């Protein structure tokens, strides 16, 4: 079977089942009729941009990066909720004020959102600065960050 059909099946499998290891994925694909090796799976995972995320029961599973773009892990979400003091826009920038020494962690959480509107993200100890291409993009980013609360 073709690479495209195999990769489509991989995406189907990881959206319907919690797949923790490459071996599990190989097994699922073989059950679906694909003659596959672990090396091929490894390449497919890289090409598809799959990542592992921690589930609510403290196990890991493969997800698409797109899936992670829409949510943060529980721990990072708690960091954002507890550490952010304010979120304001200034023209094409978003300024996120945090409690002392929390900006790097908040910045990391925001980066995991993979905001397409953000051109760059900088952090010091108390502030995260998100530079956007336009003021409209800055408002969108502010709204997305505010929704985390």
Confidence (pLDDT) at 68 = 52
| Pairing assessment for the beta strands 127-132 and 93-98 based on DSSP bridges | antiparallel
What is the rounded distance in angstroms from the CA atom of residue 33 to the CA atom of residue 21? 19
Size of the chain in residues: 149
Report the predicted TM-score, pTM, of the whole model to 2 decimal places.
0.53
Q: For residue 75, give the nearest of 95, 105, 97 by alpha carbon.
A: 105
CA 126 from chain center: how many Å?
23
138 touches 89 (CB < 8 A): yes
The pLDDT tens digits along the chain (149 residues) read 688 888 989 988 988 899 999 999 999 999 999 999 989 999 999 888 888 887 777 888 888 765 554 555 666 677 778 889 999 999 999 999 999 888 888 888 888 777 889 999 999 989 999 999 999 999 999 998 887 76
> H or E segment at 40?
helix 38-48
Please work out, in degrees rounded to the nearest 5, the angle formed at the alpha carbon of residue 102 by the alpha carbons of 115 and 130. 30
Confidence (pLDDT) at 75 = 63
């Amino acid at each position: 079977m073709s690479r495209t059909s195999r990769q489509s099946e991989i995406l189907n499998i990881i959206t319907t089942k919690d797949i923790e290891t490459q071996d599990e994925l190989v097994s699922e694909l073989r059950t679906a009729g694909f003659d596959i090796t672990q090396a091929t799976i490894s390449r497919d995972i890289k090409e598809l941009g799959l990542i592992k995320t921690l589930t609510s029961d403290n196990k890991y599973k493969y997800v698409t990066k797109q899936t992670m773009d829409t949510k943060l892990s529980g721990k990072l979400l708690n960091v954002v909720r507890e550490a952010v003091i304010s979120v304001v826009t200034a023209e094409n920038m978003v300024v996120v004020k945090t409690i002392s020494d929390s900006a790097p962690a908040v910045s990391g959480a925001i980066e995991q959102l993979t905001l397409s509107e953000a051109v760059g993200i900088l952090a010091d100890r108390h502030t995260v600065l998100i530079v956007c291409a336009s003021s409209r993009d800055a408002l969108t980013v502010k709204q997305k960050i505010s929704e985390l609360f």
